[in-house]
Amino acid sequence: MATDILAEITGMLVEIVGDEYLLAEEVTMKTTFNEDLALESIEFVALAELLHHRYGADVDLMGFLAEKDMDAILAMSVGELVTHIGRITHTSLARAAAGYSPASAG
């Protein structure tokens, strides 16, 4: 599952920054958004939008970032985002399998 998510995020990053700057085989779980990819804030916004379209509202990149301090954001790796998405999608799949819906929870 993590490999699939990593591949999808890599594709999104290539779409955002252009493949001339980012070769797909160079992005790993240890790749950092700031140091390695030099992602600008507007590119994070674009990534958040793509993640929302692909995984739904539960994968909220801006909310995920808001839980971190500036040093943690600057040091964040692609692997941290992959893990976060894996955790969120796993929980969503488990809820769906159990017949859970937010409407039935209240």
**How many C-beta atoms lie closer than 10 Å to residue 63's C-beta?**
11
pLDDT digits (tens, 9 = 90+) for 79-93: 999 999 999 988 776
- pLDDT value of position 68: 94
- pLDDT value of position 101: 56
- pLDDT value of position 100: 59
- pLDDT value of position 23: 60
SS3 33: coil
From residue 80, alpha-carbon distances to 6, 8, 30, 96 in Å are 10, 14, 9, 24
From residue 96, alpha-carbon distances to 56, 61, 72, 90 in Å are 14, 22, 32, 10
Q: Is the dihedral of CA 12, 13, 14, 16 positive or negative?
A: positive
- pLDDT value of position 99: 73
What is the C-alpha to C-alpha distance for residues 61 and 46, in angstroms, rounded to an integer? 10
Q: Cβ(73)–Cβ(65) under 8 Å?
A: yes
- pLDDT value of position 73: 92
Residues 6+ apart with CB under 8 A from 65: 44, 73, 76
- pLDDT value of position 22: 60
- Positions of the chain with pLDDT under 70: 20-25, 93-96, 100-106
